[in-house]
Amino acid sequence: MKPSIPKGTRDFLPSQVAKRNFIFETIKSVFSKYGYVPIETPSMENLTTLTGKYGDEGDKLLFKVLNNGDYLSKADQQALEDKNSSALTKSIAKKGMRYDLTVPFARFVTMHRNDLAFPFKRYQIQPVWRGDRPQKGRYQEFYQCDADVVGSDSLMYEAELVKIYDDVFSLLNIDVNILVNNRKVLFGIAEAVGVADKFIDMTVAIDKLDKIGEEGVVKELGQRDINNDQSQRILELLKIDNLTALSEAFQDCPEGLKGIEELRKFHSYLDQTETYNNITFDISLARGLSYYTGCIFEVKASNVEMGSIGGGGRYANLTESFGLKDVSGVGISFGAARIFDVMEELQLFPKKITQSIKALFIAFDEETHNYAFKQLSILRSKGIAADLYPSPSKLKKQMKYANDINVPYVILIGTDEMSSGALTLKEMETGEQRTLSLDQIAQLLV
């Protein structure tokens, strides 16, 4: 049979894993610096944990895990007969693959609340699964790197998380624009024009402003039962790009004013420090996931066409559905696969990260091969990553291998080198050769 992998999934070659780890290590180092600690949760969660958290669209994209055993005999016979898939699903699948890291984290916090010190700051780097139709930069299995803090509603954390974005992307050399908005501001708009009951519909439409333009948004709003007059007023409010003017428009919208107040406070923290990247207030930023309640973030790469490479926000009530009230959380997520694609496109990966060893020994015959193995062991015992070509093959073949694995140095050992102890060290990039003792080589490579 012909081997294949499921749609939207990928294998990773050694060089790709090396690059991905470079991204992960960079992100981890920043998370740690800010005091976040790592946790892990299972790939599968109970469907009761996951359903209803991501909106109707999200529920459709959840991967369900078929029950083990004789699941058909326990299935909902009526649903089976009616060919009602969604009703049947409940009776034959009680587990699902995690869709993001935030909801499982809320479940985790609720279950382990007595073991955690609040505010609790955690990071988590694990794959998630979505039954979405694949496209470029969009997979059914992909890694997310999340940092969240729960147990405090201080806007200091919003500022801190934006600083983390700023640090990570400047370390990775990606120029980004960090967009910020507040859900309460959006609610204020809905309130101000009298469509508070259609809040979600409104956010979905205005989120597309930069994509489909004003006309498109009006059309979209119309399809969602928001009349032309209301739509025009929404567009006018969206043109306001400073908080002072916005607060005047929100005279009678306490929720909207609160959103403005939060943004001000957030900025007052951020203003105490310098940032490398642009941080922009974007009133049309909405974000799809319905659990956000306060500040929301999205990160876009400046120099390349790609969907967002990070997103996050404040969720005041996420643990409530698990029975834990008044625990506010805020978090951010990095889309590792897309960051990978952006860095590949802009050629931002350092060449060094695909180097696995510092030096490769090359021997000319059986006797020197044995001797080289001894020298190799000595070098390794000094903590230097090194290897020996497994047989004294033709030099050309061994050198080609050295070239293929991108090793910076080769150490040539023939009869002369073995008898004198003076080894030939060749630097691959320049081709320059030197005669040195193993000790000298070790010192050079440390």
How would you write 382-424 as a 3-class SS string? CCCCEEECCCCCCHHHHHHHHHHCCCCEEEEECHHHHHHCCEE
**283: burial class by Cβ within 10 Å (0-12, 13-18, 19+)?**
buried
Question: With CB under 7 A, what is the number of residues at the site for RNA?
Answer: 62
In this chain, which of 74, 136, 380, 434 binds RNA, going by CB under 7 A? 136
User: Residue 394's CB: how many other CB atoms inside 10 A?
Assistant: 10
Quick one: which H or E segment has residue 175?
A: none
Cα–Cα distance, 345 to 354 (Å, whole number): 17
> Is 250 or 291 the residue whose CB approaches RNA more closely?
291
Among 188, 256, 294, 310, binds RNA (CB under 7 A): 310
**Residue 400 near RNA by CB under 7 A:** yes
The answer to whether 45 contacts RNA (rule: CB under 7 A) is no
Q: Is residue 289 at the binding interface for RNA, with CB under 7 A as the rule? A: yes
Cβ distance to RNA smaller for residue 36 or 409: 409
How is the beta sheet containing 310-315 ordered, strand by strand? 37-38, 120-129, 141-150, 329-335, 310-315, 295-301, 176-182, 278-281
* Least spacing, CB of residue 248 vs RNA, in Å: 30
- CA triplet 166, 170, 171: central angle to 5 degrees? 120
Q: Are 161 and 297 in contact (CB under 8 A)?
A: yes
Residues 188-247 that bind RNA (CB under 7 A): 204, 207-208, 211, 220
CB of 386 to RNA, least distance (A): 17
- Taking CB under 7 A as the criterion, which residues in 359-388 touch RNA? 364
User: Coil, strand, or helix at residue 251?
Assistant: coil
Interacting positions 66-95 with RNA (CB under 7 A) = none
Contact flag: residue 8 with RNA (CB under 7 A): yes
Q: Per DSSP, what are the bridge partners of residue 336?
A: none
Q: What mask, x for binding RNA by CB under 7 A, covers residues 162 to 191? A: ------------------------------
Amino acid at 188: G
Q: Which of 65, 304, 346, 395 binds RNA (CB under 7 A)?
A: 395
Q: Does 155 bind RNA (CB under 7 A)?
A: no
Among 61, 79, 238, 353, binds RNA (CB under 7 A): 61
Pairing of strands 386-388, 359-363: parallel
Site residues (vs RNA, CB under 7 A): 2, 4, 6-8, 55, 57-58, 60-61, 100, 130, 132-140, 142, 144, 204, 207-208, 211, 220, 287-289, 307-311, 333, 335, 337-338, 364, 394-397, 399-400, 402-404, 412, 414-417, 424, 426, 428-431, 433
